[in-house]
Structure 1
């Protein structure tokens, strides 16, 4: 049976949270849906959890190849015109699917809908709004050109299938979570508007095994994402201001790992591309300096 909305839940060793994630989608007041759980080679009780829901979901298992590959496998196996994502340790709030699907129904030019989220602890209790920590886009009606500085939270995102047909799937060179989602949104921004809902639609769980807590891995993933964004075959057809922002971001992520002269080349290329974006580049430098100072201060405290 073909569904209108396909919900993709990738899972790697998140069996302790998976049942809650699945149930939160089953309980949605939107019947025209299918749920696809992609087990990315888990070694915990993920399979046992999935068996509890065997009549209500599609279950796919693959060797451990990373979240990008897991999401792509789910998309390829899905039937929906709209693809929603939910990480296995997060939960969808009531009404999420209906709210986001209605936006895509109403605005055919919109390719992606995202929203705010609650930060929740391991027990599922709200801590804060995610926007209070990581910010929110300014243009809620279409934030596509803010995707350099604002990365939509993947578990809040619903994407029109056509987006993946046009710009491609998640880049499978990413073997862990972090950066692969940002790159996908940047590429989708090339051709589609993006709508932001200024309300939480999921609970984003903070716990001890979050991939995003591995800062070294996250920095590596971000460097890869910025490189792939500026090397993409369609990069030259972005608006000048957007290309400049991407190049400033490439400069920031390259500074500590590439020859300084090459990193400065990205900075100068950005300036020449659109001089009006220099304040954006300077903000990135300031943010990088502050992050470096904070890391040094922490080292001093530990010494």
Structure 2
């Protein structure tokens, strides 16, 4: 096996993230991977981001100017990139130890690879490990298009893609401002790109109360639905449950503190399923009969069965009759 070090361009979109930008840059440079360029596209930060970028000298390339948000920054960054392989790292996230070397080894081992997809984890605000990030299956016999439909997201900074594949699908979708990553993965899968899985932790995604994902969840889900409708013509049970759970939490409070929470969540699921999938009547009707919720979270397989609902209703009726 050859030991070629592919040239990798890492784009870092940034805006007022001076508290984290050094960690993001250092997490790349500390790996001592020679064939890498770091391109920081800052949206005209008003904090100390620019001062910190200046301190890195010629080890990075950067601009700071007003833009139209993260997607615009990514489009700018990738247009300036010169690497054969591309990825992006949000300014409050970081790469794991040896990530670049492991990606390079996967590329060398799989010369036809066009997308390398590794593991990732959520991190606390201080960068300490919180929990693993969910991931789709990857393999030669796996239908990646279907995987992304059924299972949703992956750790965005743990995905590296070949420039030629990125250009073939038209790059980052300028209409997506929250799930531009998911939209890109689906289009790469729809193209028939060769995905290679990497069973190593490649990145850490900081999760705290004022991240964009945490504060604008419904907008993110709306874009994910738009992507699924555009690419598949329907919405998967995964996203229906994620959305119905979120709406339930908004209107009814935390799951386990709400009386009859499983039954109410089941009703929310069926209502959201109908609204999102009415365009495909056959799929919609089949899902109304067959699909149901998990008892906890979309990524957990503890499915609520109809007999669970019947047993719950009987239990409630029995208590009322006994009064």
Q: Taking structure 1 as the reference length, what is the TM-score of the superposition? A: 0.75
* CA shift digits 1:62-96 (9 cap, x unpaired): 31311111111111000000002211111212210
Is 1:157 aligned with 2:152? Answer: no
1:268 aligns with 2:281: yes
Equivalence map 1:269-288=2 (5 Å) = 270=283, 282-283=291-292, 286=293
**Mapped partners of 1:249, 1:121: distance in 2:** 25
Q: Which residue is 2:205 aligned to?
A: 204
Look up the match of 2:252.
none
CA distance, structure 2, for counterparts of residue 202 and residue 29 of structure 1: 16
Q: Take 2:128 and 2:272, find their aligned partners in 1: how far apart are those partners?
A: 46
Of structures 1 and 2, the larger Rg is shown by 2
Separation (CA, whole Å) in 2 of partners of 1:288 and 1:171: 34
Say how many residue pairs are matched. 264
Q: Provide the residue aligned with 2:266 in structure 1.
A: none
Q: Identify the residue that residue 298 of structure 1 maps to in structure 2.
A: none
Closer, same or farther: CA 92–79 of 1 in aligned 2, 3 Å? same
Change (3 A) 1:64 1:32: same
Q: Is the 8 A contact 1:6 1:79 kept in 2?
A: yes
Secondary structure of the equivalent of 1:55?
helix
Q: CA RMSD in A?
A: 3.3
| Deviating more after overlay: 217-226 vs 79-88 | 217-226
Residue 50 of structure 2: aligned partner: 47
Return the alpha-carbon distance in structure 1 between the equivalents of residues 186 and 32 of structure 2.
31
Q: How does 1:171-190 map to 2 (within 5 A)?
A: 171-175=173-177, 178-190=178-190
Residue 8 of structure 2, aligned match among 5, 11, 34: 5
**Corresponding position of 1:129:** 132
Q: CA deviation at 1:120?
A: 2.1
State the Cα deviation string for residues 234-253 of structure 1 (Å, max 9, x = none): x4xxxxxxx37646678779
The aligned counterpart of 1:296 is: none
Give the gaps of 5 or more residues in structure 2: 1-5, 248-270, 299-323
Measured in 2, the distance between the counterparts of 1:264 and 1:41 equals 41
CA distance in 2, matches of 1:163, 1:124: 32
Deviation of the 1:264 alpha carbon? 4.4
The answer to whether the 8 Å contact 2:208/2:214 transfers is no
Q: For 2:204 and 2:18, locate their aligned partners in 1 and report how far apart those are by CA, in whole Å.
A: 17
Q: Which runs of 5+ in 1 are unaligned?
A: 236-242, 292-303
In structure 1, what is the Cα distance between the partners aligned to 2:105 and 2:228? Answer: 30
**Separation of aligned partners in 1, 2:87 and 2:77:** 11
Please state how far the C-alpha of 1:280 moved relative to its aligned partner: 11
Shift of residue 261, structure 1, vs aligned partner? 7.2
Partner of 2:137: 138
1:187 is displaced (CA, Å) by: 0.6
Residues 96-138 of structure 1: per-residue CA shift (max 9 Å, x gap): 01211232333244322122223222222222322xxxx3323
